[in-house]
A and B are shown apart, each in its own frame.
Chain A
Amino acid sequence: MDFTFDSEQNDLREAVRGLLERAYGDSEARRKVVGNDPGFDEKTWSRLAEMGLLGLPFAEEHGGMGAGPIEVAIVAEEIGRVIAPEPFIEAVVLAGGLIAAVGTDAQKGELLAAVAEGTTVPAFAHAEIGTRWSASASAVTATQAGDGWTLSGVKEPVPTGARADVLVVSAVVDGGTGLFVVQGDAAGLTRTGYRTHDGTRAANVRFDGTPATLLGAGGDQTAAIERALAEARIAYSHEAIGAMDTALRTTAEYLKTRKQFGVTLNKFQTLTHRAADMYVSLELARSTALWASMVQDAGGDVLSAADRARLQTSRAGRHVGKEAIQLHGGIGVTAEYSVGHYTSRLTAIDHLLGDGDFAAARLARTVADQETVDPLGAPYTG
Chain B
Amino acid sequence: MRLQLSPELEAFREEMRTFFTTEVPQEIRDKVAAHRHVSKDEYVEAQRVLNAAGLAVPHWPVEWGGRDWTPLQRHIWREEMQLAGVPEPLAFNTSMIGPVLAAFGNQEQKERFLAKTANLDIWWCQGFSEPDAGSDLASLRTTAVRDGDDWVVNGQKTWTTLGQHADWIFCLVRTDPAAEKKQRGISLLVFPMDTPGVTLRPIELIDGGFEVNEVFFEDVRVPAENLIGEENRGWDYAKFLLGNERVGIARIGATKKMLAQAKEHAREITVDGRPLLEDPFMATRIAELENELVALELTALRVVANSADGRPHPASSVLKLKGSELQQAATELLVDIAGPLSVASFADGGSDVPDWARVAAPHYLNYRKVSIYGGSSEVQRTIIAGTILGL
Contacts and interface: CB of A to CB of B under 8 A. Distances in A.
Interface in A344-366: 344, 347-348, 351-353, 355, 357, 360-361, 364
B347 interface: yes
Contact of B376 (A194, A261, A322, A329): A329
Nearest to B363: A197
A18 to B, nearest CB: 28
Given A134-B272, A196-B346, A157 B341 contact: yes
B386 interface: no
B340 A357 contact: no
A197 B345 contact: yes
Contact of B281 (A271, A340, A348, A360): A360
Contacts of B372: 325-326, 329-330, 332-333
A277 interface: no
A202 B352 contact: no
B248 interface: no
Interface in B261-309: 268-272, 276, 279, 281-282, 285
A197 B361 contact: yes
Contacts of A348: 343, 361
A210 interface: no
Contacts of B373: 330
A133 to B, nearest CB: 7
A255 to B, nearest CB: 12
A133 B339 contact: yes
A326 B377 contact: yes
A332 B348 contact: no
B351 A156 contact: yes
Interface stretch (A66-74, A92-100, A123-131, A280-288): A123-131
B364 interface: yes
Interface in A146-163: 154, 156-157, 159
B148 interface: no
B335 A351 contact: yes
A133 B340 CA distance: 8
A347 B376 contact: no
A157 B353 contact: yes
A250 to B, nearest CB: 14
A270 B378 contact: yes
Interface stretch (B4-12, B96-104, B205-213, B228-236): B205-213
Contacts of B212: 330
Nearest to A126: B340
Which of under 10, 10 to 19, 20 to 34, or 35 or more describes the interface residues of B?
35 or more
A259 B376 CA distance: 16
Given A204-B350, A260-B136, A332-B368, A196 B339 contact: no
A197 B347 contact: no
A204 B357 CA distance: 14
A interface SS class:
mixed
B204 A355 contact: no
Interface in A100-140: 127, 129-134
A159 B347 CA distance: 13
Contact of B346 (A154, A197, A351, A355): A197
A275 to B, nearest CB: 13
Contacts of B361: 197, 344, 347-348, 351
A319 interface: no
A335 interface: yes
Given A196-B344, A330-B373, A260 B362 contact: no
A127 B338 CA distance: 12
Given A333-B366, A351-B343, A194 B351 contact: yes
B206 A343 contact: yes
Contacts of A131: 269-271
Contact of B203 (A133, A195, A336): A336
A334 interface: yes
Interface in A174-205: 190, 192, 194-198, 202, 204
A128 B207 CA distance: 24
Contact of A204 (B345, B347, B365, B368): B347
B340 A352 contact: yes
B317 interface: no
Contacts of B349: 192
Interface in B351-387: 351-353, 361-362, 364-366, 368-369, 371-373, 376-378, 381
Interface of A: 127, 129-134, 154, 156-157, 159, 190, 192, 194-198, 202, 204, 259-262, 268, 270-271, 318, 322, 325-326, 329-330, 332-336, 340-341, 343-344, 347-348, 351-353, 355, 357, 360-361, 364
List of 5 A-B pairs having minimum Cβ-Cβ separation, nearest first: A192-B350, A340-B206, A197-B345, A335-B204, A260-B136
Interface of B: 129, 132, 134-136, 139, 158-159, 203-208, 212, 268-272, 276, 279, 281-282, 285, 332, 335-336, 338-353, 361-362, 364-366, 368-369, 371-373, 376-378, 381
9 contacts: A154-B352, A156-B353, A271-B378, A326-B368, A330-B212, A333-B368, A335-B205, A351-B361, A355-B339
Given A336-B204, A355-B336, A360-B281, 7 more contacts: A132-B340, A202-B343, A204-B347, A330-B158, A333-B372, A335-B205, A344-B206
